[in-house]
Structure 1
Amino acid sequence: MDRIRPGHILTAAVTLGVIGYALPYLFPDRIPGAVSVILYGTALMLAFAALLRGRLPDSCDVASPALRRRYTRELMLAMGAYVLVLFASVWLLKQVEEPALRALVALLPLPPIALALRAIVRYIRDTDEMQQRIELEAVCIATAFVSLLYMAGGFLQAAKVIDVPAASAMIWVFPLVCFSYGLAKIVVMRRYR
C-alpha cells in the first residue's frame, strides 16, 4: 500500500479539528488559544491534502513505489516530530522568562520542518525529469503567488488599510506556500497530460 488514501488523511484532519475544539474546554487554564489555532490550521491543510489526493490521478506522480514510500515515511516522521515539538515549545514558552532561552525554545520547531523540507527535496531530486519539471513549475508558481500576496499585504499594512500582527503573517507564509503548491501542481500537471 504505497498510496495514502484520502479517507485516512480526512480522518486525521477531523481528529485534529476535534482536539483543537475540545482542548480549551478540557483544560481552560492550561492550553493557550494558539494551540487550537495551530490544530485548526493543520486540520484544514490535511483536509485540503485529502481533497488533492482524491482529485489527482495516479499518473501525476511517476515516482517508483519505493521512492514514494521513503518520501511518505520521512515526511510523516518529520511532521509528527514537528507537532510534538511545537506543543512542547508552546508549553515551555509559558515557563521560561530568560530572553535567550525563550528564543531557543521558540525555534525548537524549526529542525523538524527542516527535515520535512529535506524529504521534499530528496523526493524531487530522485524523480525523473518530467516529474521534476512539474514539481519545479508548481513550486515556482506557489512561491510567486505567496510572495505577491505577502507584498500586497505589506503595502496595505503600510497604508494603514489593514493591521495584521507580524507574528501571524510570518507563521502562515510556509503553510500558504504548501497550500498554493498543491493547487499549482494540479494546474501544471494538467498541461503535461
Structure 2
Amino acid sequence: MFNILSLLQCLLPQINATTMRQLNQIILAMLAMSGRVTMLGISRWAGIGGSYRTMLRFFHTVIPWATLFWLFFRKHLFRANEVYLLAGDEVVVSKSGKQTYGLDRFFSSLVSKPILGLSFFTLSLVSVEQRHSFPIRIEQVIKSDVEKSSLSSTPEINKKEKRKRGRPKGSKNKNKTEVILTSELLRIK
C-alpha cells in the first residue's frame, strides 16, 4: 500500500506538503474502508492526524486536478511509441436528496430516461494499444437556468399545412460554416 504513496511524489511541485500529507491520509483511509465513502467515514479510518476538521480543510483546498492528472500520466503511464486518442464522456450518478450541489435531472443511457442525480463530464486519453482510459480532466455538469427552462417547457405541436415538394420560393442560401453550438458542445469547447 505504501508503494501507491511513493507514486504521488511527482505531484509535489504542484501542491504543498500539507495538502500532500492530507491526500496520503485520505488515500490510505479510502483503500482500507468499506461501504459508503463519506468525509466522516474517511476521518474515522484515517487515524491520527486525520480528523473531520482535516478532511474539511482538504476538501476546501483549491487543487489543480487537471495538472495533477497530467503530471501523473506523463511520469508513470505515458509511452512515447503508443497512440493516444482524446475522448470525452458524460457520466450520470443517481443521487437522492435535495441539498447536494448540482443535483438535477440528467439523461442516463443505462436507464434510458432522465434520472435525479449528478452529472460529470470527463476528458480522457485512451491508449489504442493497451485499450485503457486515463482521465485528464473531470468536471461536474451544472445546468444553467436557460437549460432548465428550455428542457422543462413541453414543445407544442404545431399543426402546419403540408408544404409542397422542393425548395420554397424566395428562400436564400444559408452559410453552413456558421454553426450554433449546443450547450453540450460549448461545455466541451
TM bucket normalised to smaller: under 0.3
| Larger RCO of the pair (alpha carbons < 8 Å, separation 6+) | 1
Between Structure 1 and Structure 2, the one with more helix by share is 1
Between Structure 1 and Structure 2, the one with more strand by share is 2
